[in-house]
Amino acid sequence: MPSAKHTGWRLFFDAARARAYPRIWGAMREPSWIFFEIFIPLINAAAFVYLYRALHAPEAYVGFVILGATMAAYWLNVLWMMASQLYWDKQSGFLELYILSPASLMAILFGMGVGGMFMTTLRAGTIAIVGTLLFGVQLDGSQWGLATLVFLVAMYALYGLGMLLSSVFLMWGREAWQVAMALTEPVFFLTGLNFPLSKLFATIPAALTLVSALVPVSFGLDALRQLLFPGQIVGVLSPGLELGLLAVMGSAFVVAAYLMLRRMEWLARVEARLSLRWQ
């Protein structure tokens, strides 16, 4: 006699765990990521490090760059492995299987997010450690507790944004790839991955600062730099305020993602966007 199937939150976490599984264990089976996702970002960061040193910039800038390279790994993961994923799943036919099942798409996305975050943490952590040792970065660990909290809340907001973007990308369909491509480099610039955010905010129009603020990497990185390099950077806002804004943004993104997914699923059923891959 078969036992009862799980429902409710148990089903949510079953589905999320299952969807995280290929991201965690599957990725472990392809060691090529060590080269492509650690070595290449480190080379990119090294270019900025040598540039700042050539310009005799304060040594803290080297730390800013390494921290930026670390956060870039998360942004790329969110953009390519979260935001674009449902669209690719639709193209490959997986999306139909997800929707056919009683698991919610939020559970699937949550699983993607957790799995992606886990693997990206391995990559980002390696970048941070190797970069710090290689370039002799001096971190101040006196506020590690708050820094950890800022990092976790920034991740919550960032992956919440990823969930929201995934449903938006699904709506845009064929343009998802181009949108992801178009967002990569501008976001590197707008979030101040390789320089202090306050310097950027002092020069760009107010509308662009708003766009920048909506990407959680911006305030997350700015707050972390203030906490790990105290006295060596002028932040846009205080770390506490940035932490609060990130928490609010994260919750707003998650709620918006839920509503968008419901709307997307309904539209997809009415307009046959799930069934007809050319739609």
Partner 1 sequence: MLDTQDTYAPHAPDRVATPLPGAASSAATPSPVSRLHSAIRNPQSAIAAIRTENVSRIYKVRGEKATKGAKAQPLTALGGVTLRVEQGELFGLLGPNGAGKTTLIKILTTLLAPSGGLCYVDGLDVVKEADEVRRRINMVSGGETSGFGILTVRENLWMFSQFYGVPTKEAYARIDELLKIVELDDKANTRVSSLSTGQRQRMNFCRGFVTDPKVLFLDEPTLGLDVHAGRIVRDFTRDWMRQDPTRTVLLTTHYMAEADELCDRIAIIDHGAVLACDTPSNLKRQLQTQPVFAIRAAGVGPAQLAALGHAPGVQRVTGEPAADGAGYRLKFILDDEAAIGAVVTALTAVQGRILGLQKEEPTLEDVFLKLVGRSLTPAEGEA
Contacts to partner 1 by CB under 8 A = 2-3, 5-7, 10-11, 14-15, 17-19, 21-22, 25-27, 29-30, 92-94, 96-103, 108, 266, 269-272, 274-276, 278-279
Q: Least distance from C-beta 204 to partner 1, angstroms?
A: 37
Q: What is the closest distance, in whole angstroms, from the C-beta atom of residue 145 to partner 1 in the complex?
A: 35
Pick between residue 47 and residue 97 the one whose CB is nearest to partner 1. 97
Q: How far is the CB of 271 from partner 1 (least distance, A)?
A: 7
Comparing CB distances to partner 1, the nearer of 42 and 105 is 105
Amino acid at 89: D
Q: Quote the least distance from Cβ 170 to partner 1, whole Å.
A: 14
One DSSP character per residue, 76-137 reads HIIIIIIITHHHHHHHHTHHHHHHHSSS-HHHHHHHHHHHHHHHHHHHHHHHHHHHHHHHT-
Nearer to partner 1, 65 or 103 (CB): 103
> Between 26 and 240, whose beta carbon lies closer to partner 1?
26
Contacts with 184 (C-beta within 8 Å, 6 or more apart), sequence order: 76, 79
C-beta of 92 vs 251, nearer to partner 1: 92
The token pair that represents 226 in the structure block: 């203030």
Rounded to whole angstroms, what are the CA distances from 49 to 60, 67, 69, 233, 244? 10, 12, 11, 17, 31
Q: What is d(CA 147, CA 162) in angstroms, rounded to the nearest whole number?
A: 22
Give the tokens for residue 106. 């939020």
- 264: which residues sit within 8 A by CB, 6+ positions away? 167, 170, 171
Task: Give the residue carrying structure tokens 């990823």.
Answer: 162
Q: How far is the CB of 116 from partner 1 (least distance, A)?
A: 14
Tell me how far, at minimum, the Cβ of 164 lies from partner 1, in Å: 22
The residue (of 251 and 275) whose beta carbon lies closer to partner 1 is 275
